[in-house]
Structure 1
């Protein structure tokens, strides 16, 4: 049975991104870097439901709105025809400008119209935000997870297309194993990705996160706290398995990053062992079952 070819990332990201200006907007008096195809009323535009960025700074939007009142929208938005309603458009790049234009009480904005498929739209949205450093670590990780889950991209392919190292992609994906409370701390900037990574393998990451924030601990101090929090509380000696070697820990991290779930490997004295996969909710369980089913089909293909 012939396997269907997996689609590569984009039809040439350099071509797709040619109209998406990542560098700062031109100064007042400079011509727009991309000529708009048309002007579109704000109420005919709708945000991209797969936009990786979920939070928009109110102060930053107000600042941009002030600039738009004075100079207008210098960079056109990238849009595509809406799949839902004829005559409407979905924003591919430029949702922040659209929101700020609403605050500035503008009636229409310049747009560049492109025919793009869902994968290309998601790729552009992620690239635009990441290269502008607009995403928090959770949003960035969710964007990578979308590319992998929805379109079958590997970590290596995502890393290559976005100009990131594979370890950067893997480390961010591991953050998604943390409970929602810890992810909220990350989203709000109360702790960094370095702090959060130190908590991934602990039994009580939410409790430790609260201690980190309350004590304003450094990443190094957080790592020390996480190690202490993972130790057994009983003072009585217990039969413990030998400390895991570097290869086992690396394998745990790779499996965790690929599944987006916490994976632990236990070796026993007789040479046997077990792999434990922890999931946060039923959606996680469904995704795990789907991955295992796909692996089974591939193995017997």
Structure 2
């Protein structure tokens, strides 16, 4: 395939995937009508980013399907080499509701999509409908990057989000499993999770946040508050640094100019710390981006 051949899927949106020519209204009408197949001919999407289906919402959809049928066809692709079996790309909730409503047939639209496009479409549909939890969204982004070598910039364009949003959501995957469980259960929000990323012990603080019902701002304040331990004789930053020379101040100035943020260096003999002050998660994202850049050679 030529490099000049337009790539399908990423960044085009669902409407573009349903017809090669968006101006071909008759073709769009035919696709919307689709065709019907026995419900047992459909199999779930192996790349489904959504891991949890709310039972109450599914029951409400099932009742709607019983009364009105499936109003929007399910987007599918061929299931491997099978000629009469189809893998769901978008619309698994409708398929599950149709099963619960004991429908015999369901309307489908068949598209030729590769694995990359199938995951992209499933992720785009769920993100745009806000059907995913933050962790499911993050995992979907990770799979698109790891399995299909996509960039954060390309993903952001595809789902209509900023690159910083994609980066911030993906960082949630670095939280301890216990904290991610609380996120997935809805006990913590994505904002709580991002705040806890900066904590020395995210799991311990997460339990405090849940127990006290703290909001995101309160969680951020809790994370910034020094945590006392039994073996701590005195705070690490108690009093001024014993070494406060011109070289240290020059390094602070150099780093501050490089990052565009306030930098403070404290050191005691051979050990010390570098503190970078930021006022928003976007600034934090920018810090990580600048620190990860390769130096010029």
Query: TM-score of the superposition, structure 1-length normalised?
Result: 0.72
Residue number in structure 1 paired with 2:288: 253
Q: Is 1:51 matched with 2:69?
A: no
Contact map agreement 2:167 2:285 (CA 8 A) in 1: no
1:121 is aligned to: 118
1:15 to partner: Cα distance: 6.7
Q: Distance in 1 between matches of 2:112 and 2:185?
A: 35
Q: Aligned pair 1:202/2:199, yes or no?
A: yes
- Deviation of the 1:230 alpha carbon: 5.3
- C-alpha spacing 1:244/1:230, structure 2 compared with 1 (3 Å): same
2:177 aligned with 1:146, yes or no? Answer: no
What's the offset of the Cα at 1:114?
A: 0.8
User: Which residue does the alignment assign to 1:40?
Assistant: 37
Query: In structure 2, what is the Cα distance between the partners aligned to 1:84 and 1:230?
Result: 58
Query: Does the residue aligned with 2:203 lie in a helix, a strand or coil?
Result: helix
Aligned to 2:272: 241
> Closer, same or farther in 2 for the Cα pair 1:256/1:226, shift >3 Å?
farther
Decide whether the 8 Å contact of 2:156 with 2:166 is kept in 1: yes
Per-residue CA deviation, residues 97-127 of structure 1 (Å, 9 max, x unaligned), is 0001111111110000111111111111011
Q: Report the Cα distance in structure 1 between the residues aligned to 2:6 and 2:226, rounded to whole angstroms.
A: 43
Matching of residue 219 in structure 1 with residue 250 in structure 2: no
Q: CA deviation at 1:176?
A: 0.4
Q: Is the 8 A contact 1:42 1:108 kept in 2?
A: yes
What pairs up with 1:68-79 in 2 under 5 angstroms?
68-79=65-76
- Tell me, yes or no, if the aligned pair for 1:138 and 1:187 is still in contact at 8 Å: yes
RMSD value over aligned CA atoms? 3.2
Query: Does structure 2 conserve the Cα–Cα contact (< 8 Å) formed by 1:80 and 1:92?
Result: yes
Gaps of 5+ in 2: 19-28, 237-267
1:62 aligns with 2:62: no
Alignment partners' CA distance in 2, 1:181 and 1:197: 15
Aligned-partner SS, 2:32:
coil
CA offset digits 1:27-57 (Å, max 9, x no partner): xxxxx99533321111111111111111001
Describe the SS at the equivalent of 1:208.
helix
Q: Is the 8 A contact 2:13 2:124 kept in 1?
A: no
Output the CA distance in 2 between the equivalents of 1:15 and 1:207: 41
- CA 1:242 to 1:13, structure 2 compared with 1: closer, same or farther past 3 Å? closer
Q: 1:172 to 1:193 in 2, by over 3 A?
A: same
Matches within 5 A, 1:169-180: 169-180=166-177
Aligned pair partner of 2:160 in 146, 151, 163:
163
Shift of 1:93: 0.6
Deviation at 1:68, TM superposition (A): 0.6
Q: CA deviation at 1:254?
A: 3.5
Q: Which runs of 5 or more residues in structure 1 are unaligned?
A: 21-31, 259-294, 296-301
Q: Is the 8 A contact 1:9 1:153 kept in 2?
A: no
Structure 1 residues 167 and 179: alpha-carbon distance in aligned structure 2, compared to 1, 3 A threshold: same
- Cα deviation for residue 181 of structure 1 reads 1.4
- Deviations along 1:235-289, one digit per CA (max 9) or x if unpaired, are 336546243235996576349999xxxxxxxxxxxxxxxxxxxxxxxxxxxxxxx
Q: Which residue of 1 aligns with 2:244?
A: none
Correspondence for 1:99 among 96, 121, 134: 96
